[in-house]
């Protein structure tokens, strides 16, 4: 495919936590940052803004999470911030608190225990930029032994309210991994 990347793309990422394993979170963040560097070098990305949404974890956990954020190396490409929620209203609500404020070109809903392959963001952004009728991608998931793991939803529910697009918590997508862009006026 002869395709030129869209210059200066901004990717936002939300990761919802509730007393989640910080070791796994740090591995997820390192893999996300490495994948962002590959996408940047390929010209698909210039900034990644990651929001860690903490859904009312224990106070000791929040102190440790704040330390993870404070210790994260600063860079122009990869910014990390934390949003502390007063209560645990669930996974979807946690992500929606970030979605309501987005100004990015693309958004990634990510679990804290996911590790990305090095070229994941480059491939995903390439697909989205080359196919304007695609608005949502889902990965093919493999377990530790390389076996395919099946996600619990075939089609997510997408809706728009007050000018903001929302989606159900993503557990999976179509068998093709691609959902067509919703046309204006089709709700």
List pLDDT tens digits, range 123-136. 889 888 888 877 77
Using CB atoms within 10 A of its CB, is residue 71 exposed (0-12), middle (13-18) or buried (19+)? Answer: exposed
The secondary structure element, H or E, covering residue 161 is: strand 158-161
Angle at 56 between CA 35 and CA 62, to 5 degrees: 65
Predicted confidence at residue 128, as pLDDT, reads: 87
How is domain 1-130 classified at the CATH fold level? Spore Coat Polysaccharide Biosynthesis Protein SpsA; Chain A (3.90.550)
Tokens (6 digits) for 60: 């000791």
pLDDT in tens, 153-186: 555 555 555 555 554 443 333 333 343 333 333 3
User: Helix or strand or coil: residue 185?
Assistant: coil
pTM of the model as a whole: 0.78
Structural domain boundaries in the chain: 1-130, 133-187
Give the Cα separation of 53 and 6 in Å (integer).
29
The rounded Cα 187 to chain-centroid distance in angstroms is 24
User: Helix or strand or coil: residue 8?
Assistant: coil
Average pLDDT score, the chain: 81
Give the Cα separation of 171 and 134 in Å (integer).
18
The secondary structure element, H or E, covering residue 39 is: helix 22-41
- Per-residue pLDDT in tens (0 to 9) along the chain, 187 residues: 445 666 679 999 999 999 999 999 999 999 999 999 999 999 999 999 999 999 999 999 999 999 999 999 989 999 999 999 999 999 889 999 998 889 999 999 999 998 898 999 998 898 888 888 777 787 777 777 888 777 655 555 555 555 555 544 433 333 333 433 333 333 3
27 CB-near residues (< 8 Å, 6+ apart): 115
Q: Which of 42, 38, 29 minimizes the C-alpha distance to 129?
A: 42
């Amino acid at each position: 495919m002869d395709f030129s990347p869209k210059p200066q793309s901004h990717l936002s990422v939300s990761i919802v936590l509730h007393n989640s394993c910080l070791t796994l979170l740090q591995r997820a963040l390192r893999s996300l940052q490495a994948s962002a560097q590959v996408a940047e070098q390929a010209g698909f990305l210039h900034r990644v803004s990651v929001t860690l949404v903490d859904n009312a974890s224990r106070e000791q956990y929040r102190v440790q999470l704040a330390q993870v954020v404070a210790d994260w190396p600063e860079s122009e490409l990869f910014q990390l911030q934390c949003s502390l929620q007063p209560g645990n209203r669930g996974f979807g609500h946690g992500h929606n608190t970030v979605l309501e404020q987005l100004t990015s070109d693309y958004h990634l809903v990510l679990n804290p225990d996911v590790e990305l392959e090095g070229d994941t963001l480059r491939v995903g952004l390439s697909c989205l930029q080359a196919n304007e009728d695609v608005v949502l991608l889902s990965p093919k998931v493999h377990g530790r032994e390389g076996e395919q793991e099946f996600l619990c939803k075939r089609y997510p529910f997408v809706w728009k309210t007050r000018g903001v697009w929302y989606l159900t918590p993503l557990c999976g997508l179509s068998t093709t991994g691609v959902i067509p862009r919703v046309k204006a006026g089709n709700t």
